[in-house]
Amino acid sequence: MSTLTELATRLNAGEASSVELCQDYLARIATHNPTLNAFITVDADKTLAEARAADAQRAAGHAGPLTGVPIAHKDIFCTEGWRTTCGSKMLANFVSPYDAHVIHQFKAAGMPSLGKLNMDEFAMGSSNETSFFGPVKNPWDTAAVPGGSSGGSAAAVAAGLCPVATATDTGGSIRQPAALCGITGIKPSYGRVSRYGMIAFASSLDQGGVMARSAADCALALSVMTGHDPRDSTSLERPAEDYTRDLNRPLAGLRIGLPQEFFAAGMAPDVAAAVEAALTEYRKLGATTVEVSLPNSSLSVPVYYVLAPAEASSNLSRFDGVRYGHRTAEYADLTEMYEKTRAEGCGAEVERRSLIGAYVLSHGYYDAYYIQAQKIRRLIANDFTEAFKVCDVIMGPTTPTTAFNLGEKADDPVQMYLSDIYTIAVNLAGLPGMSVPCGLGRNGRPIGLQIIGDYFAEAKMLNCAHQYQLATDWHTRVPGGF
Name every residue whose Cβ is closer than 8 Å to that of residue 480 and which is 6 or more positions away in sequence.
Answer: none
Residue type, 45: D
CA 433 to chain centre: 10
Beta strand ranges found along 417-467 (DSSP E) = 433-440, 446-453
The site string for ligand GLN over 315-354 (x = CB under 6 A, - otherwise) reads: ----------------------------------------
Binding-site member from 84, 96, 126, 128 for ligand GLN (CB under 6 A): 126
Minimum CB distance to ligand GLN smaller for 271 or for 307 = 307
**From residue 204 to residue 243, what is the string marking binding to ligand GLN with x (rule CB under 6 A)?**
----------------------------------------
Residue in 40, 97, 84, 76 with CA at minimum distance from that of residue 201: 76
- 393-397: strand order across its sheet: 39-41, 113-117, 71-74, 164-168, 208-212, 184-187, 433-440, 446-453, 393-397, 255-259, 288-292
Question: What is the DSSP annotation of 142-194?
Answer: TTB---SSSHHHHHHHHTTS-SEEEEE-SSSTTHHHHHHHT-EEEE--TTSS-
Of the residues 68, 110, 112, 125, which one makes contact with ligand GLN according to CB under 6 A: 125
Q: Please answer whether residues 225 and 105 qualify as being in contact, where contact means their C-beta atoms are separated by less than 8 angstroms.
A: yes
User: By three-state DSSP, how is residue 421 classified?
Assistant: coil
Binding status of residue 110 toward ligand GLN by CB under 6 A = no
Catalytic site includes residue 149: yes
Active-site residue identified among 18, 74, 137, 419: 74
Residue 22 Cβ vs ligand GLN, minimum distance, rounded to whole Å? 28
Contact 380, 425 (CB under 8 A): yes
| Known catalytic residue at 74 | yes
Residue 353 Cβ, how far from ligand GLN at the closest point, in Å?
A: 8
Residue closer to ligand GLN by CB (options 53, 301) is 301
Among 180, 215, 308, 438, binds ligand GLN (CB under 6 A): 308
Member of 124, 218, 278, 464 binding ligand GLN (CB under 6 A): 124
Minimal distance, residue 401 CB to ligand GLN, in Å: 14
- Using an 8 Å Cβ cutoff, are 193 and 102 in contact? yes
Contact call for residues 442 and 270 (beta carbons, < 8 A) = yes
- CB atoms < 10 A from the CB of 332, how many? 8
CB atoms inside a 10 Å sphere around CB 48: 16
Among residues 200, 208, 176, the alpha carbon closest in space to that of 101 is found at: 208
SS3 assignment, position 1: coil
Q: Which CB sits closer to ligand GLN, 241 or 351?
A: 351
Cβ proximity to ligand GLN: between 156 and 254 the closer is: 156
Q: Which of residues 409-468 bind ligand GLN (CB under 6 A)?
A: 420
Question: Which is nearer to ligand GLN, 329 or 414 (by Cβ)?
Answer: 414
User: Which lies closer to ligand GLN via its Cβ, residue 47 or residue 173?
Assistant: 173
Catalytic residue among 96, 149, 235, 313: 149
Least CB distance from residue 399 to ligand GLN, whole Å? 11
The burial of 60, by beta-carbon neighbours within 10 Å (0-12 exposed, 13-18 middle, 19 or more buried), is given as exposed
> Measured at the alpha carbon of residue 411, what is the angle toward residues 405 and 414, in degrees to the nearest 5?
95
Q: Which DSSP string corresponds to 201-224?
A: SSTTT--EEEEESSHHHHHHHHHH
Q: Is 223 a catalytic residue?
A: no
Q: Does 123 bind ligand GLN (CB under 6 A)?
A: yes
Helix, strand or coil for residue 72? strand
Of 144-203, binders to ligand GLN (CB under 6 A) are: 149, 169-173, 201
Residue span 364-403 as binding mask against ligand GLN, x where in contact by CB under 6 A, dash where not: ----------------------------------------
Are residues 174 and 211 in contact, defined by beta-carbon separation less than 8 angstroms? Answer: yes
CB closer to ligand GLN out of 190 and 201: 201
d(CA 450, CA 435): 4
Dihedral angle over CA of 310, 314, 316, 320, nearest 10: 140
Is the CB of 96 or the CB of 149 nearer to ligand GLN? 149
- Of 169 and 232, which has the nearer Cβ to ligand GLN? 169
Q: Which residue ranges make up the site for ligand GLN (CB under 6 A)?
A: 123-126, 149, 169-173, 201, 308, 420
**Positions marked active-site:** 74, 149, 173
